[in-house]
Structure 1
Amino acid sequence: MILIVDDVPDNLAVLHHLLREKYRVRIAKDGFRALELAEMPPYPDLIILDVMMPELDGFEVCRRLKKNPKTSSIPVIFHSASHRAEDEELGLQLGAVDYLAKPMAPVLILARIAAQISLQEASMRLQNSNALLAESVREKTAELARMQDALIMTMGLMAEARDSDAARHIKVTQQIALLLAKRMQEKGMHRQLLSDEYLAALFKTIPLHDVGKLGLPDRVLFKQGKLEPDEHALMRQHPQLGLEIILSVEEFLGKPHLFLRIAKELAYSHQERWDGGGYPQGLIEEEIPVSARLMAIADAYDGLTRSREYETLRSHREAMLLLAEGAGSQFDPAMVAVALEISDAIEIAVSCIRSQATRSILSVCEPA
């Protein structure tokens, strides 16, 4: 559809007669009406615009069309009795695609209009094609992300294979760590580190914190009850084994990645203690990565409140009190303070997870 704008009835009649056999035509006798019609469906594919009109001249109409997101992409051809080069230059600067000086042979007008219509149609096809391609890329990216999440969860479940409640353990620790990290972010703690991107990567990486257990012998991994000293020594090797697994993945990819950096921190340092009494490195206080400190609290809470044959089941209140007792020795005291601050949120989130059916627990985890 073509919108013709001219204040001279004879000019409108000539152009209407010339174009009506091939195109749908709409006419406007002044600039204000042209702006109204340009926003009314069916939207014009092209606007033929006179320059010299009263009240609102063609140049001002073009300026307004190009500033309006609804009409900015509509091609404009100026059709004017002015032959001044500066007028043509101004028209093109304002965004017009062509400038036709009156009078012009009908065959030339039709050719120039046909060329612009073809360009517009080609542009629309390209936009539609790009939109379809972008949607396809989004779908493939989302599918890849789901596959990645499923693979991470699978590896985490394999690492926790000695525990029949492994899926819930992973989801509980994910939620507690995320709740802690979000509250710390709100309070401005570790401002440079705790970005939204970091929190998303942390959530996805937590199932890999015990991936090193995949390298342990079955007699240790599947043993029910307390471990013997030699078995305990083997168990203490799982952080190093986990680090080596993640390093192998990083080497395969050939470049560093935030996700893998956090995975290495969790796998290697989640057994460290604030007072330096942990393993494998005996890191102390701020030497321990933030991700590992978060994991230590989440893991401890779940261990205290989750029913196991060889441990006493604790209530939420008892678990929080024990975390408080461990502040400054086993745990980062500032993080424990945050955990106590959001105690109710932790209890609600964990209760919700543990009440879910196994089928839903085994689905790919997403942050709350």
Structure 2
Amino acid sequence: MEKMPKILVVDDEYHNLFLMHGFLVPLGYEVSISSDGEEAIEFARKGAFDVILLDINMPEMDGFEVLARLRSGEETKFVPVVMVTGQGEVEHRVRALELGADDFLTKPVDWMELKARVRSLVKVKAYHDHMMNHQRKLEEEVNRRTLELRRATEKLHEAHNKLKEASLDTIYRLSRAAEFRDEDTGGHIKRMSEYAAAVGRKMGLNEKTVEGILYAAPMHDVGKIGIPDRILLKPGKLDAEEWEIMKQHTLMGARILEGASGGFISLAAVIALTHHEKWNGKGYPRGLSGTQIPLVGRVVAIADVFDAMTSKRPYKEPFPVEKAFRIIEESRGSHFDPAVVDAFTAIKDEILEIKGSSDGYDNNSPLFPKY
């Protein structure tokens, strides 16, 4: 059954109220009446009316004030209001328009005019309600789709993280495979990569780059997989020929990792090739100097050297931490980038914390699980 349009008639004269009611009800409208402005406002807020017929001249609260309050109310601001005015009250019409009136009727009311005005405004209200309902449904649909998209994105993010964890596990295993002959390889890989990430963060690199360093640094010596044991594990100093062979691990590592489309592997190729270059140009394999050396290579270099100095190796015992820091500082501007040295020494406490938590390779890091 089609809903009957609802009309509210507001007039302080009961004679007018009854006439309006008697005329409108037979036309198919549900009519409510009120002789008081305050009461009319309360009716309008609760009644969901389609049209309000409002007399201007009323005691206590006149039609202008009622109209102003209707237009300021969330429930009533879009309800069409027809102001009922006396003959020649032009100033009333102007003020009513300024307050938001939709139409006018002049007393005495012409019933045919009333019928036409009400019918027209009922259609306007119905169209407005239809558009508001349509907008509400669109908003609900947008919210539903947004929620679906958010859930799908979360699932995709979760899948991406799982894939990332699997990739990182592969990277770590590759790094360990390259150096598994060294009993402290796991600890070295973890420590130096965390040192490098901490230095990068201190230097103001964004978190994506810091993360890239953290996960690419473990592959810095992957080229050692091609170095013979007699050289890699030699307890004494390498001779000139052996040293030339050892230096080839940077080129081997770069070749192993080259050709990646991007991401950690591409960054790891840069690190593998350049982490033994020196600020003064006396490093290898290309003798790069200063800022010719990629920043990631400069950062990983200091982390690698510090951990090498403070770790036991086949050819040496570990240096005391203070001695290692002193050597790093003395190598500022020769072996190492001065800015990198400054960042490294500025986070000494963090470096020592990483070393303390990683020594002995007894750590619960998800990237470096204990085997």
TM-score, normalising length from structure 1?
0.64
Gaps of 5+ in 2: 1-5, 11-24, 31-39, 53-63, 83-96, 101-118
- Does residue 364 in structure 1 map to residue 367 in structure 2? yes
Provide the C-alpha distance between the structure 2 equivalents of 1:313 and 1:58, rounded to a whole number of angstroms: 82
Q: Please list, as runs of the form range in 1=range in 2, the aligned pairs for 1:1-150 lying within 5 A after superposition.
A: 54-58=67-71, 61=74, 78-81=78-81, 102-104=121-123, 119=138, 122-150=141-169
**Paired AA for residue 135 in structure 1:** E
Aligned match of 1:290? 295
Q: Give the corresponding residue for 1:305.
A: 310
> What are the superposed Cα offsets for residues 8-50 of structure 1, whole Å, 9 maximum, x if unpaired?
599xxx9xxx9xxxxxxxxx967xx98xx9xxxxxxxxx9998
Query: In structure 2, how many angstroms separate the alpha carbons of the residues matched to 1:329 and 1:116?
Result: 69
Using the alignment, how far apart are the partners of 1:352 and 1:50 within structure 2? 76
Counterparts of residues 216-365 of structure 1 (less than 5 Å) = 216-219=226-229, 223-226=233-236, 227=238, 229-249=240-260, 253=261, 257=262, 259-260=264-265, 262-354=267-359, 357=362, 360-361=364-365, 363-364=366-367
Q: Does the CA contact (< 8 Å) of 1:236 and 1:280 recur in 2?
A: yes
Q: Give the alignment's Cα RMSD to 1 decimal.
A: 4.4
Partner letter of residue 336 of structure 1?
V
Post-superposition Cα deviations, 1:239-272, rounded to whole Å, max 9, x if no partner, equal 11222222222xxx3xxx3645532321111111
Distance 1:140 1:327 in 2: 44
Report SS of the residue matched to 1:329. coil
Paired with 1:171 and 1:49, the residues of 2 have a C-alpha distance of 73
Secondary structure at the residue paired with 1:283?
Answer: coil
Distance 1:355 1:300 in 2: 18
Q: Which residue of 2 aligns with 1:195?
A: 206
- Amino acid in structure 1 at the alignment position of 2:219: L
Partners of 2:254 and 2:146 in 1: CA distance:
46
CA 1:345–1:105: 2 relative to 1, 3 Å = closer
Q: CA separation in 1, counterparts of 2:361 and 2:279?
A: 34
Note if contact 2:278-2:287 (Cα within 8 Å) is conserved in structure 1: yes
Change in Cα spacing, 1:116 to 1:241, as seen in structure 2 (3 Å) is: same
- Residue 103 of structure 1 aligns to a residue whose secondary structure is helix
Closer, same or farther in 2 for the Cα pair 1:104/1:149, shift >3 Å?
same
Contact 1:220 / 1:235 at 8 angstroms: preserved in 2? Answer: no
What is the letter of the counterpart of residue 178 of structure 2?
A
Which amino acid counterpart does residue 279 of structure 2 have in structure 1?
Answer: W
Cα distance in 1 for residues equivalent to 2:230 and 2:158:
42
The offset of 1:236, in angstroms, is 1.1
- Residue 201 of structure 2 is aligned to residue 182 of structure 1: yes
Task: State the SS of the aligned residue for 2:122.
Answer: coil
Report the Cα offset of residue 302 of structure 1.
0.5
AA in 2 matched with 1:325: E
Residues 126 and 284 (structure 1), Cα distance of their counterparts in 2 relative to 1, 3 Å cut: closer
Bigger radius of gyration: 2
Question: How far, CA to CA, are the matches of 2:50 and 2:327 in structure 1?
Answer: 78
Distance 2:316 2:50 in 1: 83
> What percent identity do the matched residue pairs reach?
24
Listed one character per residue, the Cα deviations across residues 313-347 of structure 1 (whole Å, up to 9, x for unaligned) are: 11111111121222232222332233233223211
Which secondary structure does the structure 2 equivalent of 1:266 belong to?
helix
SS in 1 for 2:259: helix
Take 2:328 and 2:124, find their aligned partners in 1: how far apart are those partners? 88
SS of match in other structure, 2:276: coil
AA in 2 matched with 1:138: H
Q: Aligned residue for 2:107?
A: none
CA shift in 2, pair 1:258/1:125, >3 Å:
closer
Higher relative contact order (CA 8 A, sep 6+): 1
Deviations along 1:292-329, whole A, 9 cap, x unmatched?
Answer: 11111111110111122321211111111121222232
* Partner AA of 1:244 in structure 2: R
**What is the aligned partner in structure 1 of residue 217 from structure 2?**
206
Amino acid at match of 2:311: R
Q: Deviations over 1:275-294 (max 9, x none)?
A: 22211101122222221111
Aligned pair count reads 291
Q: 1:136 Cα shift?
A: 1.2
Letter aligned with residue 254 of structure 2: L
Amino acid across the alignment from 1:210? D
Cα distance in 1 for partners of 2:128, 2:290 equals 79
- Change in Cα spacing, 1:109 to 1:338, as seen in structure 2 (3 Å) is closer
Q: Distance in 2 between matches of 1:140 and 1:346?
A: 33
